[in-house]
Structure 1
Amino acid sequence: MPLTFEFDPAFSPALRDGITALWADVTNAGGAVGFVPPVTAEEIRPDLLKHLVAIEQGRTRLLVGRDEDGEVAATAFLTLNDHRLLRHWLWLYTVMVHPRHQSQGYGRDLMAATADAARSIEGIEAIRLTCRGGTGADRFYAACGYKEVGRIPGGIRVAPGDDRDDIVMLLPLSPAGA
């Protein structure tokens, strides 16, 4: 059964807890979403709070995917640029699909829903993201239409002696239906 996506959902403690649990589960399954396993929900909360503050300030938008039981199964945070010369594109952060839902096409569904959400924001012409080298995420994003536009060798230090490339990818958006 496909995920149901909601852009800019009403925030609640249940949604907060669902995102926190998703983030911890994705990290602990080896996902490259800003932490290195093992991680607890309490370690995730301060980073989620930063996203929530940005949402409250109107700088970030949230896309949530729910499974057939209504549980948070996927997320993406779309962050707007506040600099006048960069307002035509946005950043995509914390793209996650719960490990129990992976390999079912939900990641591609999430990326398509993210592109649709970005197109609904006036003036947005592209989505930019970064991903950690050595994880295969760059191949996944390329399969979703993103192009590598930059790479910082060793830009991400996962652990002492384990530096990964910081890969910058871009998806130009065309008007819906074009």
Structure 2
Amino acid sequence: MLAPSTYVPPTLTRVSTERLRSEAATAFNAFVKAAKAGGVNVRAVSGYRSYAQQQSLYHDYVLRYGQETADTLAARPGHSEHQTGLAMDIGNSNGACALQACFADTPVGRFAASEGWKYGFIIRYPAGAQAITGYTYEPWHLRYVGKELAGSLEAWKASNPADLGALERYLGLEDAPDYVP
């Protein structure tokens, strides 16, 4: 958990209409440029979120879907990767499959899955890994971990397919907590 609830990363840089830590922003801009060179137009959807923004989003999900489902869709306030300034939700410029699993089959989704690691990004919540990560599949949620770790994780995934590419398994961490009492 990030502490205090007023935590803001020290170096946030504007990326389109969003913000990321400067090292993640530089990598993201390179990722977007490479995609564009290949005819793929990446849209920055949601980068840094403050504690208050995450609290509002999570509260809205709880009201809409109930807490049990909300816990699989959004991080509780103070637990969001977005608050670190190292996460970016991405989309297609035409809005196709926005924040849906079908995003994986779009040009941007395919580019992120095959090329993101080269720029230091991983798909943080891979398909089938909800019991490990705690979140439903989010092919649009990129997490900047740096080129070295992303490259190592990419190589590790090939020899550990049962672990579904989950960062928790790669790092030897416990599976996500179960919030249900």
The reply to whether TM is greater than 0.5 is no
**Whose strand proportion is higher, 1 or 2?**
1
**Whose helix proportion is higher, 1 or 2?**
2
TM-score normalised to the size of structure 2? 0.30
